[in-house]
Amino acid sequence: MILFLSTADTEILALRAAVEMLPDGFGPVRAGSPAAMETAPALDGVDAVVVRLLGGRRAWETPFDALARACADRGVALLAFGGESGLDPELTAASTVPAAVIGEAFPYLLHGGPANTANLLRFVADEVLGAAPPHGYAPPEPVPDEGIYLGGPDDAAFDPARPTVGVVFYRAHLLAGNTTFVDDLCAALQERGANALACWCYSLRPDERGDVPVISRYLEGRVDAVVTTVLAMGTAGAGGAGGSPGVAEADSWDVPVLTRLDVPVVQAVAATTSRAAWEENAVGLSPLDTAWSVALPEFDGRIVSVPLSFKEIVDDGDDLGVPVVGSPPCVAHPTTTSGSPSCCRPTRRSGAGLETQLGWIHQRRSSTSSTPCGPPATGSTTSPTTATPSWPSSSTGSPTRRSR
């Protein structure tokens, strides 16, 4: 048996499809989410463990260490990977297979998707477990790190008279087919009078040249605003203005690409909990979501908005041994009077909704005044298309950015 553990729900979603692509006679495959495990899983009947930890070993430190010891003691193959675009030396060292095997297996996870996941399983069965006869496997199939999902000037529905809003989401959602929330958001933007230009990316972190390709290639000079579910892109201690290159400053946070883009950037929260859990929680977002989707994006200077999607069980997981979660259609939820998904409007203890924010984006595009732009205060009864742009301020005068 191969046990596949990942803190990325999109990888479990891709695994579900990958298992259907395996040949007859392939051994059982089971899955689990370390985020839901307080202890290491039992290894009864397990021959190999593939584990992917977004955030590295520290994201699941004590259970992972126990798992690594158990695999070593019982002779179970352990292939451990981090969530970045390069190998994680600490996890590679903790694996029980040679580093060369980790190097060969990692591109399957890096490129992702059902086909690459299926070939990863075949690779592990053949090269690690010595399947006889071998199942055979194809090399990893590269998938571009960024690209246009829908919209843009080449789209028949594009109207140059309308403002254009860029929508940026993780490539992992594209590969797992988990894009319904993107479709819903783009439809809501178009309904409110904007062009939607949706792009996927592996990350918004600058590359070795300091560039963020999804922005420089597809968004810069083309959009009037951006809505993104991708996490913070700035770097701490990068050196401030006038400082020497490479000299860290403890209080610095550098986002030069967003500065150059020079448009409002709205952070839409892709919650890691269900909608019911969010509704029932007196504080709304979980601590994890608050850190990743509220606190850190604020360092980038983004406008924190409302939850755009939630994680719901889409498969009971009888075959994999763990429920499979995804982001089901927003249209299943109550809608506003205009028909837009309710997660795209203001809710209790939330910031201004995406519909409201789009209203002031319209004004920003057409206004010639120097009035600072920003969403109307939460609870405002002013129509989004007629609201006077102004920052909702706290008692200290700084922007109030709240997200439930």
* Domains of the chain: total: 2
Q: What is the pLDDT of residues 318-366, one digit of tens each?
A: 666 665 655 665 443 333 333 434 343 333 333 334 444 444 444 444 4
What's the CATH code of the domain at 61? Answer: 3.40.50
pLDDT computed for residue 157 by the predictor: 87
Does 336 share its domain with 296? Answer: yes
pLDDT computed for residue 30 by the predictor: 93
Is 218 a member of any domain? yes
Model confidence at 384: pLDDT above 50: no
Model confidence at 221: pLDDT above 60: yes
Token duo for residue 370: 């120097």
Q: Please, which pLDDT band fits residue 66 given cuts at 50, 70 and 90?
A: very high
Does 82 share its domain with 120? Answer: yes
Among 72, 97, 128, which residue terminates a domain? Answer: 128
Token duo for residue 128: 């690690």
Does 239 share its domain with 166? Answer: yes
Does 230 share its domain with 173? Answer: yes
Is 93 a member of any domain? yes
Model confidence at 146: pLDDT above 90: yes
Does 106 share its domain with 220? Answer: no
Among 100, 128, 156, which residue terminates a domain? Answer: 128
Model confidence at 379: pLDDT above 50: no
Q: Please, which pLDDT band fits residue 252 given cuts at 50, 70 and 90?
A: low
Does 162 share its domain with 251? Answer: yes
| pLDDT > 70 fraction of the chain, expressed in percent and rounded | 71
pLDDT computed for residue 370 by the predictor: 32
Is 396 a member of any domain? no
Does 202 share its domain with 259? Answer: yes
Does 123 share its domain with 150? Answer: no
Is 357 a member of any domain? yes
| pLDDT > 90 fraction of the chain, expressed in percent and rounded | 43
Is 14 a member of any domain? yes
pLDDT computed for residue 272 by the predictor: 78
Q: Please, which pLDDT band fits residue 172 given cuts at 50, 70 and 90?
A: confident
Find the range with the poorest average confidence among 14-28, 143-157, 215-229, 286-300.
286-300
289 or 218, which is more confident?
A: 218
Find the range with the poorest average confidence among 3-17, 72-86, 175-189, 235-249.
235-249
Among candidate residues 337, 386, 392, the one with its CA nearest the CA of residue 362: 386
**Cα 205 from Cα 207, distance rounded (Å):** 6
Does 283 share its domain with 227? Answer: yes
Token duo for residue 259: 């500065």
Is 48 a member of any domain? yes
Does 184 share its domain with 319? Answer: yes
Q: What does pTM read for this prediction?
A: 0.62
Domain interval for residue 300: 146-366
Among 97, 128, 159, which residue terminates a domain? Answer: 128
157 or 74, which is more confident?
A: 74
Q: What is the pLDDT of residues 126-142, one digit of tens each?
A: 999 999 999 999 999 99
Is 246 a member of any domain? yes
Is 259 a member of any domain? yes
Q: What is the pLDDT of residues 174-205, one digit of tens each?
A: 887 788 889 999 999 999 999 999 999 988 88
Cα atoms found within 13 Å of the Cα of residue 212, Cβ hemisphere only: 25
Does 253 share its domain with 348? Answer: yes
Q: Please, which pLDDT band fits residue 251 given cuts at 50, 70 and 90?
A: low
Cβ-in-10-Å burial (0-12, 13-18, 19+) of 284 comes to: buried
Does 109 share its domain with 25? Answer: yes
Q: What is the mean pLDDT of the chain?
A: 78
Q: What is the mean pLDDT of residues 146-162?
A: 90
In the sheet with 195-201, reading across from the earlier edge strand, the strands are: 146-150, 195-201, 164-170, 225-228, 265-270, 303-309
